[in-house]
Amino acid sequence: MTEQSAGRRVVTNLALSLDGRYAAPDNPVDMSWVMPYAVSDVARDHLTSLWEPATTALLGRVNAEGFFGFWPTVIGMEGADPRDEGFAKWLVDTDKVVLSSTLDKAPWERTTVVDKSAAEVVGDLKATEGGDILVLSSASVIKALLAADKVDRLALTIFPVLLGGGPRLFGDGLPAGQWTLVSQAAGEHGTLALVYDRVR
């Protein structure tokens, strides 16, 4: 049985290559390998299912700068997919927490900058009222939460690309534990959307 603790869930979402990488070896900020698959129906529906029950977005600084630089421009964009626009509106309107030791104040609305460990921050957030806490593609934050066994729901999109190197999500030394598959979808171009819940 999946034990859903009362209160808020920590939900993490990340795109992975078939060889388990979340970034290319030569240029970790180049996400061009993701783009052909991220615009597929299965990937868009997957993201929608994650943000709809969430009331807080948790990101690292680098990801925050990328997300907040791009997504607000999608609102009202001609020809934008309604699911992309829905996510963009949610991201602007929801409470956001950005983990950073270098930012003094948030240049974005409804955003709190925190210089604490990811595990401490989700502990604080879980003590408050609200929906899911969604960690959006911030690999460093997700890895820290996995290492601290603080992830309740692990959402992955697997894209049929071998990057041949680069950082992995699952390194050695993670706490052993069981997960149960709660949803799976296969889409265009061989994209897989998988959602696992932590069995406690």
Domains in the chain: boundaries: 10-199
Which has more pLDDT, 11 or 188? 11
Task: Read off the pLDDT of each residue in 4-23 and give the average, rounded to a whole number.
Answer: 89
**pLDDT value of residue 6:** 59
Within 10 A of 151 (CB to CB), how many other CB atoms are there? 22
Residue 180 has φ and ψ, to the nearest 5°, of -120, 135
Give residue-wise pLDDT tens across range 138-165: 999 999 999 999 999 999 999 999 999 9
Tens of pLDDT, residue by residue over 70-113, are: 999 999 999 999 999 999 999 999 999 999 999 888 888 999 99
Of 3.40.50.300, 2.40.30.10, 1.10.3720.10, 3.40.430.10, the CATH number of 10-199 is 3.40.430.10
Q: pLDDT for 24-64, tens place per residue?
A: 998 887 888 998 898 999 999 999 999 999 999 999 998 89
Give 2's pLDDT tier (boundaries 50, 70, 90): very low
